[in-house]
Amino acid sequence: MCGIVGYIGHRDAYPIIIKGLQRLEYRGYDSAGVALYDGNSINLSKTKGKVDDLKSKSESTISLKGSLGIGHTRWATHGVPNDVNSHPHLSNSGELVIIHNGIIENYDSIKKELIKRGYTFHSDTDTEVLVNLIEEVKNQEGVKLGKAVQIALNQVVGAYAIAVFDVKKPDEIVVAKLGSPLAIGIGQDEFFIASDASPFIEFTNNAMYLEDEEMAIIRLGKEIKLRKIKDDSVVYPNIKELQLNIEEIEKGGYDHFMLKEIYEQPRAILDTYRGRLLADKGLIKMAGVDENIEKFLNANRIIIVACGTSWHAGLVAEYIFEDLARIPVEVEYASEFRYRNPVITDKDVLIAISQSGETADTLAAIKLAKEKGAFVFGVCNVVGSSISRETDAGAYTHAGPEIGVASTKAFTTQITVLTLIALKLAKEKGVFSQSKYHEFLTELENIPSKVEKVLLSNALVEQVAAVYKDATNCLYLGRGYNFPVALEGALKLKEISYIHAEGYPAAEMKHGPIALIDEHMPVFVIATKKGHYEKVVSNIQEIKSRKGKIIAIVTEGDEMVRDLADHVIEVPETFESLTPLLTTIPLQLLSYHIALMRGCNVDQPRNLAKSVTVE
């Protein structure tokens, strides 16, 4: 996690770095720092807190001059978030300065060795160890910065995206990557470095992404020199033109990114199937699936790996693939899968789902499955992300940048992509008749307008939020396709409002959680008409008899649940397998409003970061 930004060129580096760090705060926000070279020396400012705190501190304490600088926004791994542990870190001589996203696992043994050689350390971080190791190599071997970085990185175990410069050679920045993302923006006589392209998109569309185990020497007036860290072999830069635009990464009039992203869902879902779903022709076109159709059709099973919200989308996909395409599916937490010695064969297809495309556990699961010969397919949102590059084939969700830490449009667009794949396979396998297939495609095309309709319930959801904002515990129940939605609803509430919440399959309630129900327990129940409706109604009766408060998500026009529940929120009718795309929306809005009413930071909840690039 952590966000890194660097600049070398002819503009003032400071405003670029600060704005860039603000855009990268989704990656971590417990402390921040900046180092600027003013022509003579390095001016360093670091603070616990957010980038705004850094701005106030640096603008009153250091010179902001200079066209070379690096900055960092941190999600603490080694050492508590405080001023000293914040990046950038200086080497003992004060000549080298570094920013780092990742973890150096063997930092302790290196630190002990450096201490023996007379080095002193001020912070608890692994990063300060790395910059001093680079300094030691540089001095001992008499090499330039680039070579010293390379030798030092060959001694470390762990993950990193780093940027480092030498005050004695202020025309270059050296960067390297293993496991954490690093993009380089290439302008006219200027270069930008960042964890993603958002910090430099208004300056240049030309960018390249470092691959794992690559490093680059970025020197003013010169071509970027790329090398493999291990064997020093030359790599040729693959410069791309990015499609991202600046409006996509700003709030566009909404108070929070999360709210903007909730409201973007009709458009995002449409963008996900645009050009892929051709209902009039009865066709789904997805290059990544089309080119590998035999792999899917001959698969023994599909294994889905993901984390968090993406794992919930995977659970929805399990229902969809098995129900519609009759293909056996297993859904696994990537973090468990990678370490449990799973049985994988070359007849398995592994689908990895990830919004960011950078989640460390999901990446590791992909590598494991590839080693064992499985065909690996990625469902990612971030174009060019590590997972999208590591997989054999894939499909982007096209949701546009998701900045709010709580995933919203990523979830619904992941489900949309997975539905398209399942429908395509159902058709290819002959499980679906042409007319059933056609009906599905047409209904999928209706989903964006139905999501618009659900969004109209925002004011009602806000009223419900006001009633339950002080709850200390909540239960979320759903069955079938809506069981994962219950899990997702509970996760949304936990992560942004810090209320304890549990999601359960409704029928499991009587095997334990029912003991929790009393007049203080709000229970959010998804009770749409097609998903085991009568059974869920019975579950609602059970809650009511124990005086639990019932907030039900129901199909438009429902009377039976309305009579039982304390509050109902309606969603339009649709096919059962498509209901998660609608029922999840009120739960997203609910957690948003509750978090806001409790004074929580909706877009940057405590202890979290958007991309979890550490295991």
Q: How far is the CB of 304 from ligand M6R (least distance, A)?
A: 12
Does 309 bind ligand M6R (CB under 6 A)? Our answer is yes
Please identify which residue in 310, 386, 412, 584 interacts with ligand M6R, judged by CB under 6 A: 310
Q: How far is the CB of 537 from ligand M6R (least distance, A)?
A: 30
Q: Which two structure tokens, joined as six digits, stand for 360?
A: 């460390």
- 212 or 495: CB nearest ligand M6R: 495
Query: Is the separation of the CB atoms in 73 and 24 below 8 Å?
Result: yes
Q: How far is the CB of 588 from ligand M6R (least distance, A)?
A: 10
Is residue 549 part of the annotated active site? The answer reads no
- 406 or 501: CB nearest ligand M6R: 406
Angle between helices 580-597 and 409-429 (to 10 degrees): 170
| Distance in angstroms (rounded) separating the CA atoms of residues 97 and 102 | 16
- 132 or 356: CB nearest ligand M6R: 356
Does 497 bind ligand M6R (CB under 6 A)? Our answer is no
- Binding positions for ligand M6R, 77-106, rule CB under 6 A: none
Q: How far is the CB of 608 from ligand M6R (least distance, A)?
A: 6
- 22 or 611: CB nearest ligand M6R: 611
Does 407 bind ligand M6R (CB under 6 A)? Our answer is yes
CA distances from 49 to 26, 71, 266, 502 (A): 13, 14, 35, 31
Question: Which amino acid belongs to residue 216?
Answer: A
| Distance in angstroms (rounded) separating the CA atoms of residues 426 and 423 | 5
CA angle centred on 283, ends 281 and 289, rounded to 5°: 160
Catalytic residue among 2, 380, 474, 600: 2
- 309 or 574: CB nearest ligand M6R: 309
- 406 or 486: CB nearest ligand M6R: 406
Query: What character string, x for contact with ligand M6R (CB under 6 A) and - otherwise, covers 569-608?
Result: ----------------------------------------
Does 307 bind ligand M6R (CB under 6 A)? Our answer is yes
> How many of the other CB atoms lie within 10 Å of CB of 419?
27
Could you say which DSSP state residue 349 is in?
A: E
Query: Which helix (H) or strand (E) element contains residue 530?
Result: none
Q: Residue written as tokens 């705190």?
A: 53
Q: How far is the CB of 309 from ligand M6R (least distance, A)?
A: 3
| Distance in angstroms (rounded) separating the CA atoms of residues 310 and 306 | 6
- Binding positions for ligand M6R, 331-360, rule CB under 6 A: 354-356, 359
Please, which residues have CB within 8 angstroms of residue 307's CB and are 6 or more apart in sequence? 333, 334, 335, 354, 359, 361, 362, 612
> How many of the other CB atoms lie within 10 Å of CB of 459?
9
Does 386 bind ligand M6R (CB under 6 A)? Our answer is no
Question: Which amino acid belongs to residue 596?
Answer: L
Query: Which helix (H) or strand (E) element contains residue 197?
Result: none
- Binding positions for ligand M6R, 387-406, rule CB under 6 A: 405-406
Query: Is the separation of the CB atoms in 75 and 29 below 8 Å?
Result: yes
| Distance in angstroms (rounded) separating the CA atoms of residues 26 and 75 | 10
- 149 or 415: CB nearest ligand M6R: 415
Could you say which DSSP state residue 78 is in?
A: S
Q: Which two structure tokens, joined as six digits, stand for 193?
A: 């470095």
Does 132 bind ligand M6R (CB under 6 A)? Our answer is no
Catalytic residue among 57, 177, 492, 610: 610
Q: How far is the CB of 359 from ligand M6R (least distance, A)?
A: 3
Please identify which residue in 28, 69, 71, 308 interacts with ligand M6R, judged by CB under 6 A: 308
Q: How far is the CB of 242 from ligand M6R (least distance, A)?
A: 19
Q: Which two structure tokens, joined as six digits, stand for 595?
A: 């978090």
- 2 or 521: CB nearest ligand M6R: 2
Q: How far is the CB of 393 from ligand M6R (least distance, A)?
A: 18
Query: What character string, x for contact with ligand M6R (CB under 6 A) and - otherwise, covers 449-488?
Result: ----------------------------------------
Does 385 bind ligand M6R (CB under 6 A)? Our answer is no
Query: Is the separation of the CB atoms in 154 and 106 below 8 Å?
Result: no
Is residue 600 part of the annotated active site? The answer reads no
Query: Is the separation of the CB atoms in 104 and 614 below 8 Å?
Result: no
# of chain residues touching ligand M6R (CB under 6 A) = 16
| Distance in angstroms (rounded) separating the CA atoms of residues 17 and 36 | 10
Q: Which two structure tokens, joined as six digits, stand for 536?
A: 């869920």
Please identify which residue in 54, 418, 447, 612 interacts with ligand M6R, judged by CB under 6 A: 612
Q: Could you give the residue ranges of the DSSP H alpha helices within 184-322?
A: 257-263, 265-273, 287-290, 293-297, 308-320
| Distance in angstroms (rounded) separating the CA atoms of residues 523 and 464 | 12
Q: How far is the CB of 308 from ligand M6R (least distance, A)?
A: 2
Q: How far is the CB of 594 from ligand M6R (least distance, A)?
A: 15
Q: How far is the CB of 8 from ligand M6R (least distance, A)?
A: 30
For β-strands 225-228 and 214-219, DSSP reports them as antiparallel
Q: Which two structure tokens, joined as six digits, stand for 500?
A: 């304890």
Query: Is the separation of the CB atoms in 521 and 477 below 8 Å?
Result: no
- 388 or 611: CB nearest ligand M6R: 611
- 229 or 382: CB nearest ligand M6R: 382
Q: What are phi and psi of 118, to 5 degrees?
A: 100, 5
Which residue lies nearest ligand M6R, judged by its C-beta?
A: 308
- 126 or 261: CB nearest ligand M6R: 261
| Distance in angstroms (rounded) separating the CA atoms of residues 509 and 80 | 40
Please identify which residue in 214, 495, 558, 570 interacts with ligand M6R, judged by CB under 6 A: 495
Q: CA-based diameter of the chain, in Å?
A: 81
Catalytic residues: 2, 610
Return residues touching ligand M6R (CB under 6 A).
307-310, 354-356, 359, 362, 405-407, 491, 495, 611-612
